[in-house]
Amino acid sequence: MSYKLGLILSLAFLMSVLLLASDLMNVCVIKNSLDALSLTVSYRIAQEGTLSQGTKRLIASYGARYRLEDGEREVFRIGDTVTYFLEKDYQPFVLGKETRQISVRRSAVIGYYKN
């Protein structure tokens, strides 16, 4: 009889550990997705010299948001370094009740990929 009670208690503990592991795994997946997206965004910003509408649509298609570090200036000169943030919200299972914001900070040099 006591082994049944121990099994029930251990299942509750195991379930909470699985939920915590799934939260951590989801955060890693979102961060890796934003990192992969940032490579494409950096290349496009460096090549086009601006944050074009196509790049904005690409970011929005991933469900992410962008924010420039130096404000809303979207036209740059050759040689400028553009620092930006890509952000996405995540509603965790166990880590907390409030929505978490996951972001990556990246930069691009304008004109780096020009021939």
Which position has the token pair 């570090």?
69
The boundaries of the domain holding residue 66 are 2-109
Alpha-carbon distances, residue 18 vs 7, 25, 34, 89, 91 (angstroms)? 16, 10, 24, 21, 16
Domain-embedded: residue 114: no
56-111 pLDDT per residue, tens = 999 999 999 999 987 777 678 888 889 999 999 999 988 788 999 999 999 999 88
Domain-embedded: residue 69: yes
pLDDT at 13: 86
The count of structural domains within the chain is 1
Domain-embedded: residue 115: no
- The DSSP secondary-structure symbol of 111 reads T
Distance CA 76, CA 79 (A): 9
pLDDT at 69: 84
Percent of the chain with pLDDT strictly greater than 90: 52
Domain-embedded: residue 62: yes
Which position has the token pair 């004109």?
111
Domain-embedded: residue 103: yes
Beta bridge partners of 66: 86
